[in-house]
């Protein structure tokens, strides 16, 4: 098993930006000892019915970074999201920074390249991204060392990013009363997700955990921050020592009842390209709908 370079003494400041349209939380994470920062999981706004793209949510992040005079070094994607579109290239154009995702993006690109019947111009080698992370890979944000943990199960390319005492869990976990994300997308696997969650729960109890999504179960206010200790004790799907068998049975039955996310068709096409909108043969931005293909 990989040993990870955990350093709880570094405490980055974390600013959250909640997107109401998709229940996604984007983050600006700042190195405490410099002006460097990273963005985790940005959102591009889409009115899918109208085929209209806008950038209000991304502009709020950009404004905040400019107001504070920060230097954006990384634009991290925890995975290829199926429920919202990434604004990574839009942000990169304005502020710079490298776009990074897990190296298993190649698997995702191969799977959905077929689903969307992409031609050879769609590269399945991850070259749309600036950095492909392997399990345990480190990188720096200013003076702060960060690392990526391979956590498949929800999708094959999922990674949790740890920056000092803050971990960005993507869709491995939800808040304790929200449980876990579905594991039934192509390449997903409930048993593999359980094992990945155990890796997250093996981090120090005081590690701050930041969610990618929250849906406010039972009408509670939206929340996005918890700790490893809280999840271990109280997570309704995996806390209190639930076994892998219990989890897989529950997750599989639950996933069979879930509808596809409303934005899965545009999200996959855009996010497997690192947030670039595909174009047709004349170079016009265009999205496809594969009929009975998902
Ligand atoms: Fe996701």
Q: Which of 151, 124, 118, 119 is nearest to 136 (CA)?
A: 151
Euclidean distance between CA atoms 101 and 130, whole angstroms: 9
Q: How far is CA 168 from the centre of its chain?
A: 8
Give residue-wise pLDDT tens across range 78-87.
Answer: 999 999 999 9
Cα of 13 from ligand 1 centre, angstroms: 24
- Domain ranges for the chain: 13-271
| Ligand 1 centroid to residue 121 C-alpha, Å | 26
Count of C-beta atoms within a 10 Å radius of residue 48: 14
Q: How far is the CA of 79 from the centre of ligand 1 (A)?
A: 7
DSSP string, 142-205: TTEEEEEEE--SSSTT-EEEEETTEEE-TTS---TTT------STT--HHHHHHHHHHHHTS-T
pLDDT at 294: 84
**Which residues 6+ apart lie within 8 Å of 292 measured at CB?**
none
Rounded mean pLDDT, 89-107: 98
* Domain range 13-271, its CATH number among 3.20.20.140, 3.60.15.10, 2.40.110.10, 3.40.640.10: 3.60.15.10
pLDDT at 241: 87
| Beta-carbon-side half-sphere exposure of residue 237 (alpha carbons within 13 Å) | 27
Q: What is the pLDDT, as a whole number, of residue 293?
A: 87
Residues with CB under 5 A from ligand 1 (ion): 81, 171
The per-residue pLDDT for range 194-226, each reduced to its tens digit, is 999 999 999 999 999 999 999 999 999 999 999
Residue the block writes with tokens 């991850």: 126
How many Å lie between the centroid of ligand 1 and the Cα of residue 225?
A: 17
**Whether pLDDT at 111 is above 80:** yes
DSSP annotation of 221 reads: P
Kindly report the pTM of this predicted structure: 0.97
Q: What 3-state class would DSSP assign to 26?
A: strand
pLDDT at 35: 98
Q: What is the pLDDT of residues 61-75, one digit of tens each?
A: 999 999 999 999 999
The mean per-residue pLDDT over the stretch 258-266 comes to 95
**88 CA from centroid of ligand 1 (Å):** 16
4-30: pLDDT as tens digits: 999 999 999 999 999 999 999 999 999
Interval 112-149: pLDDT, tens: 999 999 998 899 999 999 999 999 999 999 999 999 99
Q: pLDDT by residue (tens digit) across 24-73?
A: 999 999 999 999 999 999 999 999 999 999 999 999 999 999 999 999 99
Enumerate the β-bridge partners of residue 2: none
Give me the pLDDT at residue 8, please: 97
Predicted pLDDT of residue 265: 96
- As a whole number of angstroms, the distance between CA 223 and CA 104 comes to 29
């Amino acid at each position: 098993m990989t040993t990870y370079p955990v350093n709880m003494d570094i405490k980055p400041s974390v600013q959250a930006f909640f997107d109401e349209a998709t229940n996604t939380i984007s983050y600006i994470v700042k190195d405490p000892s410099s002006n460097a920062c990273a963005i985790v999981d940005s959102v591009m706004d889409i009115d899918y019915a109208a085929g209209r793209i806008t950038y209000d949510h991304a502009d709020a992040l950009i404004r905040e970074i400019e107001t504070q005079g920060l230097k954006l070094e990384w634009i991290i994607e925890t995975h290829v999201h199926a429920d919202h579109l990434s604004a990574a290239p839009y942000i990169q154009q304005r502020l710079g920074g490298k776009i990074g995702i897990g190296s298993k993006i190649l698997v995702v690109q191969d799977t959905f390249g077929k689903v969307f019947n992409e031609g050879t111009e769609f590269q399945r080698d991850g070259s749309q991204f600036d950095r492909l992370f392997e399990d345990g890979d480190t990188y720096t944000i200013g003076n702060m060392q960060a690392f990526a943990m391979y956590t498949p199960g929800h999708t094959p390319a999922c990674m949790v990013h740890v920056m000092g005492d803050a971990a960005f869990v993507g869709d491995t976990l939800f808040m304790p009363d929200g449980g876990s994300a579905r594991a039934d997308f192509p390449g997903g696997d409930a048993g593999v997700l359980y094992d990945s969650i155990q890796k997250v729960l093996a981090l120090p109890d005081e590690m701050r955990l930041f969610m990618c999504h929250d849906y406010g179960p039972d009408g509670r206010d939206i929340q996005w921050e918890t700790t490893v200790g809280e999840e271990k004790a109280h997570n309704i799907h995996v806390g209190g020592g639930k076994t892998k068998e219990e989890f897989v049975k529950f997750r599989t039955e639950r996933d069979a009842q879930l509808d596809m996310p409303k934005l899965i068709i545009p999200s996959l096409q855009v996010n497997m390209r690192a947030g670039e909108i595909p174009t047709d043969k004349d170079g016009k931005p265009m999205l496809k709908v594969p009929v009975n293909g998902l």
